[in-house]
């Protein structure tokens, strides 16, 4: 049996020129996630009147849906082409904004409203899965294989730049016009990148032997587990930082998202080559320790400035955790299955976020908001054990020892 997969056609242009259009699409596509990050917890908690567990459930539903969509996104990207997969993701993101608007129409019934909001978040999760999985796979197909980590880092940089800009924009829109403005931006903004990708060349699919998702999953589970544990700090900041600031009486909680995202971007701009040069697992180990320190500082913070430094350290640390473990994942599969590999690898992150956000919500309910960051720090630290194991037992494509 066979399946089509993207043919490698290395772009002769410089690395940046080849990847910037794809990064632009990812940036615009992820602005819709960024604008909702700082305001969604506040809207669910204050606007609809639900507790921290439901806040975590609404936030986590996006990641749960992304988890379910990862295998489909990877297969679709490898088989039908990354360009088509990105377009499908953008259309789904726009549809999620329409569901947000429907949720607002029935706001007088909070239970029904939050149910439709959950559906909108789920659709957005599927859209995010298609956009980022296909964009990374697209980038890996058009640049030299020695830049694997750099591709993952740069595409992720575009994603978090969208978060950094989206957070203050979303806060301003929410303060001035309410959640309806967030819904409208979510419905309209994803349509613009469709014009950006129209002139871009698609990568031609070719036929290769079929690799099942189960087989690929078995090859990438180690790096995926490390990425999942390391991602909990990201979930803690994005879901609970604004509530922590509000609970402590600190203003401008959106600054935590921006501090996180700016540090994240700076680390990727200056150190995106590190995983390719020094080894993905080694870089992941170093950065996991930095992220752990950031979460611990947010737990202990008595002033907003310390919490912002903790958020920045978390962003700086997590910046290269994902590409570091990602390099380890990609090197374990043949080139024709990289889209599926990235889907399987990122599924671990989605699973972690889908479980961690509601779980951390229960921690906040029982022990207070600052305890969220202590639990997160301990969880992130466990990723260091995975990185150490990958360093001790390295493999190349096919799982053979180096």
pLDDT of residue 6: 45
How many domains does the chain divide into?
1
DSSP 8-class letter at 208: E
CATH number, position 305: 1.20.1250.20
What's the distance, CA 258 to chain centroid?
A: 15
Query: Mean per-residue pLDDT for 53-57?
Result: 81
- Any domain includes 397: no
Q: At what angle do helices 338-367 and 321-330 cross, to 10 degrees?
A: 140
Other Cβ atoms within 10 Å of 199 Cβ, number: 7
313 compared with 42, residue with greater pLDDT: 313
Mean of pLDDT values over 36-59: 82
The larger pLDDT score, comparing residue 12 to residue 234, is at 234
pLDDT over 80 (residue 367): yes
Q: Compute the mean pLDDT over every residue in the chain, rounded to the nearest whole number.
A: 81
Query: Nearest CA to 128 among 361, 343, 377?
Result: 343
State the Cα torsion 96-83-163-64 to the nearest 10°.
50
Whole-number pLDDT of residue 382: 93
Comparison of pLDDT for 40 and 89, the residue scoring more = 89
Is 402 contained in some domain?
A: no
In a domain, 400, yes or no: no
Whole domain around residue 330: which residue ranges?
2-392
The residue with tokens 């990708």 is: 197
Rounded to 10 deg, the angle between the 110-142 and 82-105 helix axes is: 170
In a domain, 398, yes or no: no
Task: Give helix 15-36 / helix 179-188 axis angle, nearest 10°.
Answer: 150
Q: Is 300 exposed, middle or buried (0-12, 13-18, 19+ CB in 10 A)?
A: middle
Among residues 29, 160, 27, 21, the alpha carbon closest in space to that of 97 is found at 29
- Measured between alpha carbons, how far is 322 from 159 in angstroms, rounded to an integer? 13
> What are the tokens at 392?
């001790």
Question: Using an 8 Å Cβ cutoff, are 54 and 327 in contact?
Answer: no
Range scoring the smallest mean pLDDT among 5-14, 83-92, 287-296: 5-14
Assigned domain for 80 exists: yes
Within its chain, how far is the Cα of 274 from the centroid? 20
Q: Does residue 274 sit within a domain?
A: yes
CA distance 233 to 372: 10
CB contact at 8 A, 294 and 318: no
Query: Does residue 4 carry a pLDDT above 50?
Result: no
- The string of pLDDT tens digits covering residues 245-302 is 887 878 777 788 888 888 888 888 888 778 778 888 899 999 999 999 999 998 988 8
Phi-psi region for residue 311, left (φ > 0), alpha (ψ -120 to 50) or beta? Answer: alpha
Reported confidence tier of residue 5, pLDDT bands at 50, 70, 90: very low
Q: Does 296 fall in a domain?
A: yes
How much is the pTM? 0.68
Q: What percent of the chain has pLDDT over 90?
A: 19
Q: What's the Cα-to-Cα distance from 42 to each of 12, 51, 59, 150, rounded to whole Å?
A: 47, 10, 11, 36
What is the pLDDT at residue 206? 53
Q: Coil, strand, or helix at residue 5?
A: strand
Segment 367-389 mean pLDDT: 89
Structure tokens at 286: 């170093």
Is residue 98 scored above 90 in pLDDT?
A: yes
Domain contains 113? yes
What's the pLDDT score for residue 95? 94
CB 39 within 8 A of CB 174: yes
211, pLDDT greater than 70: no
Q: Residue range 346-370: average pLDDT? A: 79
Mean pLDDT of 227-242: 86
Q: Encode pLDDT of 107-147 as tens digits.
A: 888 889 899 999 999 999 889 889 988 888 888 777 666 67
- Name the nearest CA neighbour of 288 among 320, 326, 329, 252: 320
Note the pLDDT of residue 173. 92
- What's the pLDDT score for residue 101? 94
């Amino acid at each position: 049996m066979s399946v089509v997969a993207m043919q490698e056609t290395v772009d002769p242009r410089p690395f940046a020129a080849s990847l910037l259009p794809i990064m632009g699409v990812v940036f615009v596509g992820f602005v819709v996630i960024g604008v909702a990050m700082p305001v969604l917890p506040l809207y669910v908690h204050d606007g609809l009147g639900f507790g921290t567990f439901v806040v975590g459930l609404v936030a986590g539903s996006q990641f749960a849906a992304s988890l379910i969509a990862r295998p489909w996104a990877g297969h679709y990207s490898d088989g039908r082409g990354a360009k088509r997969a990105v377009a499908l993701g953008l259309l789904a993101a726009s549809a999620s904004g329409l569901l947000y608007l429907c949720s607002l129409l029935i706001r007088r019934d909070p239970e029904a409203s939050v149910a439709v909001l959950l559906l909108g978040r789920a659709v957005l999760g599927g859209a995010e899965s298609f956009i980022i999985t296909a964009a990374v796979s697209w980038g890996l197909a058009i640049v030299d294989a020695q830049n694997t980590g750099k591709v993952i880092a740069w595409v992720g940089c575009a994603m978090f730049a969208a978060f950094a800009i989206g957070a203050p924009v979303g806060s301003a829109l929410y303060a001035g016009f309410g959640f309806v403005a967030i819904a409208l931006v979510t419905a309209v903004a994803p349509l613009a990148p469709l014009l950006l990708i129209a002139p871009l060349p698609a990568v031609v699919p070719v036929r290769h032997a079929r690799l099942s998702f189960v087989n690929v999953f078995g090859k990438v589970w180690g790096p995926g587990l490390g990425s999942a544990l390391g991602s909990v700090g990201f979930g803690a900041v994005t879901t609970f930082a604004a509530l922590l600031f509000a609970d402590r009486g600190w203003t401008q909680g959106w600054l935590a998202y921006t501090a996180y995202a700016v540090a994240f971007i700076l680390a990727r701009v200056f150190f995106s080559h590190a995983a390719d040069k020094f080894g993905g697992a080694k870089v992941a180990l170093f950065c996991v320790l930095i992220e752990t320190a950031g979460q611990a500082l947010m737990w202990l913070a008595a002033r907003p400035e310390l919490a912002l430094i903790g958020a920045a350290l978390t962003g700086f640390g997590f910046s290269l955790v994902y590409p570091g473990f990602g390099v380890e994942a990609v090197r374990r599969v043949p080139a024709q299955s990289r889209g599926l590999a990235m889907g399987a690898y990122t599924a671990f992150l989605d699973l972690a976020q889908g479980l961690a956000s509601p779980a951390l919500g229960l921690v906040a309910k029982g022990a207070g908001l600052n305890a969220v960051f202590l639990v997160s720090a301990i969880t992130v630290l466990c990723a260091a054990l995975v990185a150490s194991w990958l360093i001790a037992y390295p493999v190349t494509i096919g799982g053979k020892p180096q």
